[in-house]
Amino acid sequence: MELIKNLEWRYATKKFDPEKKIGTYELDKLKRAIQLSVSSYGLQFYKVLIIEDLEIRKQLKPVSWDQNQITDASHLFVFCNYNKVKKEDIDAFIRLTANTRNIDYNDLRGYGDFIETKLNEKTKAQLTNWLERQPYLALSTLLMACAELGIDACPMEGFEPEKYNEILGLKEKGLNACVIASVGYRHESDRSQHLSKVRKPMNLLFEEIKQIQTELLLV
């Protein structure tokens, strides 16, 4: 299974080689992988900013705990969640589904109403939490795609979302910087690449619940 091999190879890269850049072909593959990522109800209530511009990343570095990955990596992926759920966004998804699958829009309106009802059942805090979890699904897909392509990545929560929102003008777009990932190629001097991967042993991480066969006793 190549996926296991690729996941064993990857690690959270601490030091990138600023001279090595991701090519257009590889970048398109990463974008396609994210596009195909799973999301709740298939809504994809997030947007991904891919920042190559070094000057912008220099502005973001001080509000990213001054971590060098921000500027040394080839690109910075900023995963942004929607700040709120709008009826028109759900309707746009239903229309896209209808057009993509050649289905009458009216035949899918019930599904749209169902989604809206379920989301309206959430409290404001629950909905915010739900929206902020969505980009992590896409982030996971990015990391696996990077590993398959032999591209290094470092997922990061060490940044100030409000400052990102301000610098990138996200609030005006109804977006919030949720999680980021530096993507590029490891520097040969990054010692982290030689460290053994630390993971919980299988017997502690997993608990299998198997069906218990019982016999019906007739008295």
pLDDT tens digits for range 72-113: 999 999 999 999 999 999 999 999 999 999 999 999 999 999
63 alpha carbon, distance to own chain's centre: 20
The reported pLDDT for the residue numbered 215 is: 60
pTM: predicted TM-score of the whole model, two decimal places: 0.94
Residue with tokens 């599904």: 111
User: Cα dist. 113→4, 84, 129, 150, 191 in Å?
Assistant: 40, 17, 21, 43, 53
User: What is the average per-residue pLDDT within 186-198?
Assistant: 97
Model pLDDT for residues 32-87, shown as the tens digit of each residue? 999 999 999 999 999 999 999 999 999 999 999 999 999 999 999 999 999 999 99
CATH architecture of structural domain 2-200: 3-Layer(aba) Sandwich (3.40)
**Judging by beta carbons within 10 Å of its beta carbon (0-12, 13-18, 19+), is residue 163 exposed, middle or buried?**
middle
> pLDDT-based confidence at 218, cuts 50/70/90?
low
